[in-house]
Chain A
């Protein structure tokens, strides 16, 4: 077993496996699943115009996000990551199953903290609110991203590179976590068996995360493993029926409004806040923070 786990692997194989899981899964799971969800909406007579425009807006925000991600990715990954890897890293780890599993676990843990920060810091919420602003819950919502959503992961994954993990492996692991997360955006799957619900993030746990019900705010930040939430005090089980969306509804399916509403709300808040220090604090304090008059 140990021998198998520590046997050195070829990059060409590892990249192929990640390609099948990360990229091709769009074709063999995500799109078929979305079609199934649409059929279900139709059967339940919930296939409204609002839902269709919402889905279209989701895909358009993803396009915009993807362009930003590619530009940042080229800059950050090829330059900063490799520079840190060569200069500020523990001994470089070999490419084997132990390293891959550890890297995915760390990427998942980094995702937890990055996601938590996106909810609890003003500037983070300004971009992540886009993802939460849909009042529907299906696979297309997973693709609803804000303009700065690509920035936080870079900051949170650099420490993984410094721990000796290859930058490309870190990147592939991050995408893997994101793809796993994508699959949770559905109402079709109810609760899974107890052990699974205890260890893994599931559609049920993630519905809670998208809830606007008060007890569901800022809960279940997990990517793959829900145990991070259990260990760090942010777990909440799904009990009351979830109402999706944000506390201050957006009421628009205009992709431009959807994409930028968080930032424009943030700028308005900065404008009406008195004092330079307070204006700065708006960026890093929790989104519900208000300067004392």
Chain B
């Protein structure tokens, strides 16, 4: 068999398989974005009740989110707080989200202890939201674990206009954080 035939056939095989996977990945993202937008016109007040239920059973909220689509779209820019209670840190971290180019970036700006006393942070970029349609998004989150920082793919699900959940799964080590608008 001629080398050119080998090359041509091999490229065709690779494009067929990898292209199929990329296309499927692209289409499934767009499908869910489209579904969400259809429900967009519904009333805002309903959202509040959804949220109160959602808050009381926070653990389940993530699983339910796909069945009960959220009724509003929101902007992410501004200050958000996440409360942690771990060995490393107990208190609230304050992040500033800014739209920069096509992405929305989050910078760590302040640490607050349990009593609300704040201390300025170094402003490092901890989160890049690459896609966001007003309800769901995807991005890369910097997770610190045992002194090392890992860049991890993450998902964002809006719960209501003042809350979203950020979840990630890094080869089985995952977590879901609740971000609150300040």
Contacts and interface: CB of A to CB of B under 8 A. Distances in A.
A and B held together in a complex: yes
Contact of A102 (B17, B26, B29, B172): B17
Interface in A115-164: 159-160, 163-164
A91 interface: yes
A180 to B, nearest CB: 17
Given A12-B172, A15-B171, A102 B20 contact: yes
B13 A231 contact: yes
A105 interface: yes
Contacts of A88: none
Interface string A155-180: 00001100111001000000000000
Contact of A99 (B6, B21, B29, B170): B21
Contacts of B18: 90, 102, 106, 160, 163-164
Interface string B81-113: 000000000000000000000000000000000
A92 B140 CA distance: 11
A93 interface: yes
B120 to A, nearest CB: 30
Contact of B1 (A12, A98, A164, A232): A232
Contact of B6 (A5, A91, A159, A232): A232
Nearest to B169: A11
A91 B25 CA distance: 9
Nearest to B172: A12
B94 to A, nearest CB: 27
A264 B162 CA distance: 70
B92 to A, nearest CB: 29
B28 A6 contact: yes
A106 B28 contact: no
A118 to B, nearest CB: 16
Binding site of A, secondary structure by majority: helix, strand, loop or mixed?
Answer: helix
B44 interface: no
B9 A232 contact: yes
Contacts of A10: 169, 172, 174
A195 interface: no
Contacts of A106: 14, 17-18
A250 B6 CA distance: 33
Nearest to B153: A92
Contacts of A232: 1, 6, 9-10
Contacts of A73: none
A260 interface: no
A164 B22 contact: yes
Contact of B171 (A11, A98, A113): A11
A113 B25 CA distance: 27
A233 interface: yes
Interface centre among B6, B14, B18 (most CB of A within 10 A): B18
B24 A233 contact: no
A105 B172 contact: no
B151 interface: yes
A164 B172 contact: no
Interface in A83-123: 86, 90-94, 96, 98-99, 102-103, 105-106, 109, 113
A94 B25 contact: yes
B170 A11 contact: yes
Contacts of B20: 98, 102
Given A106-B18, A109-B10, A164-B22, 20 more contacts: A6-B24, A6-B28, A10-B169, A11-B172, A11-B174, A12-B172, A90-B18, A91-B22, A94-B28, A98-B20, A98-B21, A102-B17, A102-B20, A102-B21, A103-B21, A163-B21, A164-B21, A168-B171, A231-B9, A231-B13
17 contacts: A11-B172, A12-B169, A12-B171, A15-B171, A86-B151, A90-B18, A91-B22, A92-B153, A93-B25, A94-B28, A96-B28, A99-B24, A105-B17, A160-B18, A164-B18, A165-B21, A232-B6
Interface of A: 5-6, 10-12, 15, 86, 90-94, 96, 98-99, 102-103, 105-106, 109, 113, 159-160, 163-165, 168, 228, 231-233
Interface of B: 1, 6, 9-10, 13-14, 17-18, 20-22, 24-26, 28-29, 151, 153, 169-172, 174
